[in-house]
A and B are shown apart, each in its own frame.
Chain A
């Protein structure tokens, strides 16, 4: 169950929080997104259920705290706060017994959505990601070198490029999954 509804924020403290991240609004937005992603990683690897909700809850509570106490450095403060939120989440929902192995062949829906998201990519990026993941797991290192060389970039840069396209696709699929869930 989502806990988002418990926190109602007004624009002003949110703007103040963004300004703490960066005075340039656009840069602040990017830093906000990066921070949120890190929080999601943090909660996932603290084995907290509903990591995204907890990431939002952490940020909301930090924003509210701005008015109550002086925050010297935002990022360490957010991390420290996230640790507190993780402890609370574990107290609320202690880990259950080990679940059974997930059924094979799942993710049909994701496959359909991914197909749609792929179509939104420029042709070059689509080809890059498909080639990259076709040859994933190192058995085609030469192919990757060839792809990288053809593109005029280093293999490391190719890896980063593939990662970023993958993130883009993953976000697109997640958005569409959320949309279809909300429609039901």
Chain B
């Protein structure tokens, strides 16, 4: 944290053009070598420009930024964009009140939320990404090769493990906020299966993860601890959880992925949702 703050100070001085030539050159070399640092630099720049359009900069800094905006078309465009964004957000806030999407999401994540609210919230916000990757229900004995493609290392499961012979149905769930407005549907045909859920990760945590699967009414179905993230593509990580299909009735479900820190506090790192539909 301290290091990030120090690096932020340097970046802010770069943005204010307060650095000596050698320091400026060093910052350039740093962000050319590091995409994240460049992203951070631009975030700080956004923040500075936002402060400018909200008249929250000290007079001398404001004057410098105004001058640059006049000098450079790109800089002017950025300032005008920030102003447009501010006005649009303010306009939205003064529009007739409506239930915010994130309040709806919030409604169904905690266990204590009322059932009706949870169901409504889930229906409104739950997004579809899966089943995206594969739908596999060939018997293990008959398709050993395919079976190998889905045999990820099994996490420690507190509840009874799935029957080894059960065919696997695999689904990919994106975090709720990245699901693009569609509902995750987990369609389970008649019969017994192992349901394997791939929980795509946004957060950088890779170990000590726990997944809690619960109904929209807050009834816990499964708790799986000791999960570890796995790489599923370039720059992409996910956690896999498996459970027997018999545990899932028709209806809405929520998955909370959390991380236990060294000081025993728990941090929520991902929220996922899906609707189970049973085939006839």
Contact surface of A with B, Cβ cutoff 8 Å: 27, 34-35, 37-38, 40-42, 44-45, 47, 49-52, 75-76, 78-79, 95-96, 98-102, 106-107, 110-111, 113-115, 118, 122-125, 127-131, 133-134, 136-137, 146-147, 149-154, 157, 159-161, 163, 166-167, 169-170, 173-174, 177
B67 to chain A, nearest CB (A): 6
- Complex: how many Å from CA A91 to CA B190? 76
Give bound CA distance, A79 to B83, whole Å. Answer: 32
Chain B minimum-CB-distance residue to A95: B71
**A102 interface neighbour in B66, B78, B93, Cβ under 8 Å:** B66
Cα(A47)–Cα(B177), bound, Å: 38
Given known A-B contacts A99-B67, A147-B102, A110 and B81 have beta carbons under 8 A apart: yes
Query: Is the CB of B119 closer than 8 A to any CB of chain A?
Result: no
Q: Which of B32, B67, B73 contacts A98 (CB 8 A)?
A: B67
B89 lies within 8 A of A130 (CB): yes
Is B76 an interface residue, CB under 8 A from the partner? yes
Q: Measuring CB to CB, which residues of chain B are less than 8 angstroms from any residue of chain A?
A: 14-15, 17, 24, 28-29, 31-33, 35, 38-39, 41-43, 46-47, 50-51, 54, 56, 63, 66-81, 83-90, 92-93, 100-103, 105-106, 109, 125, 127, 175-181, 202-203, 234, 256-257, 267-272
Closest chain A residue to B50, Cβ basis:
A136
- B17 and A45 within 8 A (CB): yes
Give min CB distance, B201 to chain A, whole Å: 10
B74–A51 touching, CB < 8 Å: yes
CB distance from B96 to the nearest CB of A (A): 15
Chain B nearest Cβ from A166, distance in angstroms:
7
Are B43's CB and A130's CB within 8 A? no
Q: Are B175 and A151 in contact (CB under 8 A)?
A: yes
Docked CA distance A173–B88 (Å): 14
* A42 partner residues in chain B, CB cutoff 8 A: 28, 32
A128 in complex: contacting residue of B31, B93, B177, B268, CB < 8 Å: B177
Among A113, A134, A152, the residue within 8 A (CB) of B92 is A134
Rounded to whole Å, the gap between the CB of B13 and the closest CB of chain A is 11
With a 10 A CB-CB cut-off, give which of B29, B32, B125, B269 has the most chain A CB atoms.
B32
B80 touches A44 (CB 8 A): no
Complex alpha-carbon distance, A98 and B88, angstroms: 31
| Cβ 8 A contact of B181, one of A102, A123, A152 | A123
Interface centre among B73, B88, B180, B203 (most CB of A within 10 A): B88
* A35: nearest chain-B partner, CB-CB: B32
For the complex, give the distance between the alpha carbons of A137 and B101 in Å.
22
Other-chain contact of A153, B39, B179, B270 (Cβ < 8 Å)? B270
26 contacts between A and B (CB under 8 A): A35-B32, A38-B38, A45-B14, A79-B28, A79-B29, A79-B32, A102-B66, A110-B84, A111-B84, A114-B81, A114-B84, A129-B85, A131-B102, A134-B92, A136-B50, A137-B56, A149-B268, A150-B106, A152-B175, A152-B256, A152-B268, A160-B43, A163-B42, A163-B46, A170-B78, A173-B81
Nearest A residue (CB) for B15: A45
In the bound complex, residues from chain A placing their C-beta under 8 Å from that of B203 are 153-154, 157
Known A150-B102, A166-B46: A124·B177 in contact at CB below 8 Å: yes
Q: A38-B31, A124-B181, A127-B101 given as contacts; is B72 within 8 A of A107 (CB)?
A: no
- Asked whether, in the complex, the Cβ of A163 is within 8 Å of the Cβ of B269, the reply is no
Give the CA-CA distance A146 to B101 in the complex, in Å: 12
Please pick, from A38, A49, A146, A147, the residue contacting B32 in the complex, using a CB distance under 8 A.
A38
Q: Specify which of A47, A106, A152 is in contact with B80 (CB 8 Å cutoff).
A: A106
Report which of B32, B85, B87, B234 forms a contact with A75, defined as CB distance below 8 A: B32
Contacts of B271 in A (CB 8 A): 150-152
With A49-B71, A152-B257, A157-B202 already in contact, the answer to whether A41 and B101 are too (CB < 8 A) is no
Q: Are B105 and A151 in contact (CB under 8 A)?
A: yes
Interchain CB contact (< 8 A) of B177 among A45, A151, A169 = A151
Task: Establish whether residues A137 and B78, one from each chain, have CB atoms under 8 Å apart when the complex forms.
Answer: no
Q: Are B77 and A174 in contact (CB under 8 A)?
A: yes
- Please determine whether A44 and B74 come into contact, CB atoms closer than 8 angstroms: yes
